[in-house]
């Protein structure tokens, strides 16, 4: 993925060129630069690798999974799924107290576990309010993207 | 070292192909699939499937850390990267090695060398291979100096590019500056490397590549060459082995050149050395080294009877090559057509969707590598390759006829395909008489 410096370098290259408009699309990235007189408008965005026509296509892929989007807040009896593949850790360190136990009340921002991806520890928030009723994954095991980690029951009444 | 379980870091037809090679080698396999591919054919056939992330490749197939974690976490001892995605990523090869996993491919150093097109050019020249006149450019003014020395047209290429990406043809002086700016910006965006180099443009060029195989004990052999001149926007459409319309002397020189380059750079595993052959003079020039199994490897397998993907696994396990140069014999002619979900009638727009029907005819001499079947979904996130149809016949004419028969008998419903374009090429007199060069398809208006 591009760094900020890369983007600056691209803009510099365009700035020194006679071009008025540039569109770059690569995997997971698109850049559109427009020169308007002295001021250049720029639009920088991440985009999934989806052809522009896909949404208009008459043969929409009915069975394809929807593109990734930030998960919406969860409902009652919600499942906290692994937001990434990695090693599931219930506690900060071996032997330490688990972040959460069954019966514990959590808020959406309560950290429930860590997922390690090659030494990078990622904190996973509950993103739901309620009570942990089940721990679905085994400590220190590989969890896949989307795998259920906990079940949270919404508070009643 | 011996391998037991292989992690397949790819999708589509090549993942299915690698599953088959693992079976042939008696290895277990785990497929790393994005959410969009969890129900794919490779995932169904593997011993296990691991969901590596959401559909966009940048969040799944292109994540080095995720791939290595998934391979380790699923108890694999090797990673097969297939082609595309991270197949030629020195980062993946290095991360795998660092974590005690075998990377099915050449060394990190060889991948880095081949990935730097300028370094690869220099290595080829040092090994005595002819390279087309060209050099690195400092800036647009330097490009003008190159043009005044060598004239137009010329090619601008990204040092970090390859596989047909990051190439601009500049026909005349007026085009040079804008082309330079766009090429540099694209190169930086796509490859993280803005360096460009210029090459003299060979107007009538055939793309000929030599398949090599090298073990980790110093043995290097070639398995003949392939012609991949039928291209659209530098992407191959039809490939064949052996290359037609080559003199025996040129054929031998190409093969020897590929082997000597592989030796010079300490290459191991299977790979391809690509050349352009000047159709007017018969001279040839080094183009690039591809450090992976190629899409078009089945035509070589057809004429040599060797399983190149299984050989990759054996080499990665540290075994010597299962054949010596004198064991490689060539039988007949094989032609491959790449069937894609693209609509030739609508500017080759990708045509993803659900296949309500997909069936290939059972014909003697026809091999079909595919992940497609009735009900399969072609997701919109990845490239549009649906299937490779490989026809093997006693000669070029027989292989062409068989491939046409296969295309006619193919049943596809639910998505648009390039079938009519493929058939149009195979029926064309220029293809029949083997005078096709790399720009032929774009210049020749073939009714879709």
Domains in chain B with CATH codes: 5-104 (3.40.50.20), 133-200 (3.30.1490.20), 205-443 (3.30.470.20)
ipTM entry: 0.79
pLDDT at A42 over 60: no
| Residue B379, both tokens | 């997701």
Model pLDDT, residue A20: 66
Model pLDDT, residue B166: 79
Residues contacting residue A90 through CB under 8 Å, at least 6 positions apart:
A98, A99, A100, A113, A135, A139
- DSSP H or E segment with residue B99: none
Model pLDDT, residue A156: 67
Question: Which residue among the candidates B195, B232, B292, B396 is catalytic per the annotation?
Answer: B292
Model pLDDT, residue A65: 41
Question: Cis ω on the peptide bond leading into residue B153 (within 30° of 0)?
Answer: yes
| End-to-end CA, chain B | 52
Model pLDDT, residue B443: 85
Average pLDDT, chain A: 72
Residue B46, chain A, CB below 8 Å: the answer is: no
> Closest chain B residue to A70 measured between Cα atoms?
B54
> Closest chain A residue to B347 measured between Cα atoms?
A53
Instruction: Using CB atoms, pick whichever of A50, A63, A85 lies closest to residue B70.
Output: A85
Report the pLDDT averaged over residues A38-55. Answer: 32
Share of chain A above pLDDT 70, in %: 50
Model pLDDT, residue A117: 92
pLDDT at A62 over 90: no
Which one is predicted more confidently, B154 or A39? B154
Considering only CB atoms, which chain A residues are within 8 Å of B62? 27-28
pTM reported for the whole predicted model: 0.84
- Candidates B9, B41, B43, B73: best to mutate against A (most CBs of A within 10 A) is B73
Residue B420, chain A, CB below 8 Å: the answer is: no
Catalytic residue flag (residue B144): no
- Asked if B102 and B3 count as a contact pair (C-beta separation under 8 A), the reply is yes
Task: Give every residue of chain B whose pLDDT is below 70, as ranges.
Answer: 163, 445-448
- DSSP H or E segment with residue B425: helix B419-427
pLDDT digits (tens, 9 = 90+) for B105-119: 999 999 999 999 999
- Asked if B86 and B64 count as a contact pair (C-beta separation under 8 A), the reply is yes
| CB-CB under 8 Å, B350 with A53 | yes
Query: Can you tell me the distance from the alpha carbon of B397 to that of B433, in angstroms, rounded to the nearest whole number?
Result: 10
Instruction: Using CB atoms, pick whichever of A68, A120, A142 lies closest to residue B59.
Output: A68
- DSSP H or E segment with residue B257: helix B248-264
- Asked if A44 and A16 count as a contact pair (C-beta separation under 8 A), the reply is no
Considering only CB atoms, which chain A residues are within 8 Å of B190? 24, 26
Query: Can you tell me the distance from the alpha carbon of A139 to that of B275, in angstroms, rounded to the nearest whole number?
Result: 53
pLDDT digits (tens, 9 = 90+) for B397-414: 999 999 999 999 999 999
Considering only CB atoms, which chain A residues are within 8 Å of B156? none
Which domains, and CATH codes, for chain A? 4-49 (no CATH), 78-153 (2.40.50.100)
Residue B76, chain A, CB below 8 Å: the answer is: no
């Amino acid at each position: 993925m591009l760094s900020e410096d890369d983007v600056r370098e691209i803009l510099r290259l365009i700035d020194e060129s006679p071009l008025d408009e540039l569109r770059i699309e690569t995997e997971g990235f698109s850049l559109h630069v427009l020169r308007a007189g002295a001021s250049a408008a720029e639009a920088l965005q991440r985009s999934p690798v989806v052809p522009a026509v896909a949404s208009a296509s008459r043969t929409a892929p009915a069975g394809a999974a929807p593109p990734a989007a930030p998960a919406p807040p969860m409902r009652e009896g919600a499942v906290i799924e692994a937001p990434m593949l990695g090693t599931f850790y219930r506690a900060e360190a071996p032997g330490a107290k688990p972040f959460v136990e069954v019966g514990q009340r959590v808020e959406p921002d309560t950290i429930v576990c860590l997922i390690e991806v090659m030494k990078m520890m990622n904190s996973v928030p509950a993103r739901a309010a309620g009570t942990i009723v089940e721990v679905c994954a085994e400590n220190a095991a590989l969890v896949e993207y989307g795998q259920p980690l906990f079940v949270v029951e919404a508070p009643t009444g | 070292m011996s391998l037991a379980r292989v992690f397949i870091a790819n999708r589509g037809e090549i993942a299915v192909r690698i599953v088959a090679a693992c079976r042939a080698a008696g290895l277990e396999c785990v497929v790393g699939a994005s959410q969009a591919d969890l129900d794919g054919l490779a995932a169904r056939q593997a011993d296990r499937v691991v969901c590596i992330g959401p559909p966009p490749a940048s969040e799944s197939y292109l994540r080095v850390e995720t791939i290595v974690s998934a391979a380790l976490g699923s108890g694999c001892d090797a990673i097969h990267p297939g082609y595309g995605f991270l197949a030629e990523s020195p980062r993946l090869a290095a991360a795998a090695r660092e974590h005690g996993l075998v990377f099915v491919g050449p060394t990190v150093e060889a991948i880095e060398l081949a990935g730097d097109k300028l370094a690869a050019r220099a290595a080829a020249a040092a090994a005595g291979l002819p390279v087309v006149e060209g050099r690195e450019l400092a800036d647009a003014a330097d490009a003008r100096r190159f043009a005044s020395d060598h004239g137009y047209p010329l090619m601008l290429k990204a040092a970090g590019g390859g596989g047909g990406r990051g190439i601009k043809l500049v026909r005349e002086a007026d085009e040079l500056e804008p082309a330079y700016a766009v090429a540099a910006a694209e190169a930086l965006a796509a490859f993280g490397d803005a360096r460009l180099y210029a090459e003299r443009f060979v107007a009538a060029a055939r793309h000929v590549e030599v398949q090599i195989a090298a073990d980790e004990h110093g043995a290097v052999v070639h398995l003949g060459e392939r012609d991949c001149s039928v291209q659209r926007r530098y992407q191959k459409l039809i490939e064949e082995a052996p290359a037609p319309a080559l003199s025996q002397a040129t054929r031998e020189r190409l093969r020897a050149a590929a082997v000597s380059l592989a030796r010079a750079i300490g290459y191991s595993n299977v790979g391809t050395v690509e050349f352009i052959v000047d159709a007017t003079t018969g001279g040839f020039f080094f183009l690039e080294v591809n450090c992976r199994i190629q899409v078009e490897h089945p035509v070589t397998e057809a004429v040599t009877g060797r399983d190149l993907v299984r050989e990759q696994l054996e080499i990665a396990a540290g075994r010597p090559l299962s054949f010596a140069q004198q064991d490689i014999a060539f039988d007949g002619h094989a032609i491959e057509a790449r069937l894609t979900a693209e609509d030739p009638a609508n500017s080759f727009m990708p045509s993803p969707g659900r296949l309500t029907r997909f069936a290939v005819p059972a014909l003697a001499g026809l091999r079909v590598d595919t992940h497609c079947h009735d009900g399969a979904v072609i997701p919109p996130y990845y490239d549009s390759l649906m299937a490779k149809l490989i026809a093997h016949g006693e000669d070029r004419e027989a292989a062409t006829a068989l491939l046409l028969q296969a295309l006619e008998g193919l049943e596809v419903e639910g998505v648009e395909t390039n079938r009519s374009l493929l058939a149009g090429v195979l029926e064309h007199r220029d293809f029949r008489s083997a005078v096709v060069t790399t720009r032929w398809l774009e210049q020749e208006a073939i009714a879709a």
